[in-house]
Structure 1
Amino acid sequence: MSKPRKPKGRPISGWLILDKPVDFGSTEAVGKIKWLFNAQKAGHAGTLDPLASGMLPIALGDATKTVPYVMDGRKIYEFTVTWGEERASDDLEGEVTNSSEKRPTEEEIRALLPNYTGVISQVPPQFSAIKIAGERAYDLARDGETVGIPSREVEIHRLTLLKVERDRAFFEVECGKGTYVRSLARDFGRDLGCFGHISGLRRSFVAPFAEDMMVPLAELTALEAIEDRDERLAALDAFLVDTSEALSALPQIRISDDQAHRLRMGNPIILRGRDAPVAEPEAVALAGGKLIAIGEIGEGEFRPKRVFA
């Protein structure tokens, strides 16, 4: 009987809040960070298009178990819409599909914004990762197919017009999971009768990570010049954010080392005391400030769902 293969890389855990540059894909960025940190596992929380820059949270090791909690968080984007052309990809990469000489006034743009605030119905772009009959929409679009992508509800918490030029307008949007900013630009242009597409996009915030946590890729790759491996990895690890930061929105309980051992074995623990929470569908157990488990609280117990090394 063959022995299971030992995972390659270091069993490190944490979040790297990358400031992704333009013309660098999200999958490419994850691969680069995994290689730089010599990590066993890596994944990201929310794709950024190659033409977009900004915050791309990358989970290493056990932190990949917390990716869904970051995916569900609010996001803030700054984006530029160029008027006069609608494009197949709804950004600069696609071919022009519609054009217009009309340019909207600032008053017309401001009057439109309330229609795009709150819960709205949105059709994702043809060039998107949405699956249609098991195929990615962008694969079908590249093959020349035009597919009917069903609309879906997304939530826009805040939409601000920052500046207006003749051919361009600059916005900031705070939105929920699944929102396509490229679709906003496309729909703005259609409603204003002038067509439009995204010509600039930057993500500045992904809850719960703050903008000042971002690390430029160039700052990380510069550390490749450190010849001593241990020194180089230590310098990189200094940029990691603790895995538990991704779960800051969940209720937290403090437990003993003995209780932590029980949870790591997959067993529930009894919660005692007047201040013990009665019921929570999801909560975080911490011992000595370290993340031990995500679990459910009920009937005086904490029952682990996901356990961390």
Structure 2
Amino acid sequence: MARRKKGIKVDGWLVIDKPLGITSSGVVGKVKFLTKAQKVGHGGTLDPLASGILPIGLGEATKTMPFIVDASKEYAFTVKFGTATDSDDLEGEIIESGGRIPEEAEILEVLPRFTGSIEQIPPAYSAIKVDGQRAYKLARDGELVELKARRVEIQELSLTSFDADQGEAAFHVTCGKGTYVRSLARDIARAVDSCGHVVQLRRLRVGPFSLKDAISLEKLEELGHSAPAQDYVSPITTALDDIPAVAVTDEEAKRIRCGMTLLRPEIKQGTLVLMDGDVPLAVAENTHGTIRSLRVFNM
């Protein structure tokens, strides 16, 4: 006899407006406690010193997690010029100070260098693995961490305000997966012959999820298991909005649930969402007319 899963069966996406000072894993733990959901996971780490959008997958929505992790993101961030830290944010120790405060015109002049496809070296304090160990653990142990440059995509980068007296500039960025805002801030400062670090970071959007969809942990705790709390849970398919949906027959649905393939040569190749009526059945891949399931939902 199969072991019965603990918790309540809840399937969908809950978008949390993460406060400062808590880890993404900490948010997952709180959501799991408050919702009693059987399975909970987050769609992309947000540092403790950052706030904003943290998509939380509940139940079967966790199977769509890769599509959220790989989605484009928007951030608002503030850079303090003249001082650098070993973590490129407020949390680290100062490693350079006394740098010059650039003019606003200088900042605007270098921004085009950081749009499009660019190479970026991740911060030493990052979750990237080096010889099987997380870079941030090695850095905390005092080891010199040398990470290779990676290509990332910056769709849009703009200066939103500049305070010369404070030596701070605020930016808005839209970027692809794998982009480190801390590295972007560090490199902008270097480009204007200074140094700098992030003093404020807020994530405004992840894929289809924005602040208008979000709920705070305090509000979630207040609502508990009441009906209004369900209003904040988005369908599983929200994470799959950009993927073509294909309706299947009852017989085809049975085949997919049994791990079998479908022959549909008339359908365009690529990733698909198979729909059994109004219910998502699976994420699948169509290769030369043969459809194979990648993730099957137990709805």
TM-score by length of 2: 0.94
Match of 2:147 among 146, 149, 153: 149
Query: What is the CA-CA distance between 1:255 and the residue it aligns to?
Result: 2.1
> Match of 1:100?
98
Contact persistence 2:53–2:210 (CA under 8 A):
no
CA distance in 2, matches of 1:195, 1:84: 5
The 3-state SS of whatever aligns with 1:215 is: coil
Q: State the AA in 2 paired with 1:257.
A: D
Aligned counterparts of 2:182 and 2:94: Cα–Cα separation in 1: 14
Q: Distance in 2 between matches of 1:298 and 1:142?
A: 46
Give the whole-Å Cα distance in 1 for the aligned partners of 2:88 and 2:99. 18
- The 1-side partners of 2:15 and 2:249 are apart by 31
CA shift at 1:103, angstroms?
0.6
Name the aligned partner's letter for residue 276 of structure 2: A
Indicate how the Cα distance of structure 1 residues 143 and 298 shifts in structure 2: closer, same or farther if over 3 A, else same: closer
Question: Corresponding residue for 2:189?
Answer: 189
Q: Using the alignment, how far apart are the partners of 2:35 and 2:8 within structure 1?
A: 8
Report the equivalent of 1:229.
none
CA distance in structure 2 between the aligned counterparts of 1:209 and 1:106, rounded to whole angstroms: 32
Q: Which of 260, 263, 271 is equivalent to 2:256?
A: 263
Choose from 60, 63, 73 the match for 1:62.
60
- Residue number in structure 2 paired with 1:306: 295
In 1, distance between residues paired with 2:136 and 2:244? 39
**Partner of 2:41 in structure 1?**
43
* % identical aligned pairs: 45
1:245 to 238, 246, 267: 238
RMSD in angstroms over aligned alpha carbons? 1.6
Helix, strand or coil for the counterpart of 1:27? helix
Shift of 1:13: 1.2
Contact 2:52 2:211 in 1 (8 A): no
SS of 2:209 mapped into structure 1: coil
1:33 aligned partner, one-letter code? V
Post-superposition CA distance 1:74-104 (Å, at most 9, x none): 0000000011100011111111100124110
Q: Give yes or no for the alignment of 1:236 onto 2:225.
A: no
1:269 shift after superposition: 3.2
1:261-294 CA-to-partner distances (Å, cap 9, x unmatched) read 322222223448xxx42x3221011122211011
Superposition pairs of residues 1-309 of structure 1, within 5 angstroms: 5-166=3-164, 167-224=167-224, 232=225, 234-271=227-264, 276-277=266-267, 279-309=268-298
* One-letter amino acid of the counterpart of residue 268, structure 1: T
**Pairwise CA distance, 1:45:** 1.1
Counterpart CA distance in 2 for 1:38 and 1:185 is 39
Measured after TM superposition, the shift of residue 223 of structure 1 is 2.1
Distance 2:180 2:105 in 1: 24
Number of residue pairs matched? 296
Deviation at 1:191, TM superposition (A): 2.0
Structure 2 residue runs of 5 or longer lacking an equivalent are none
8 A contact 2:214–2:232 mirrored in 1: no
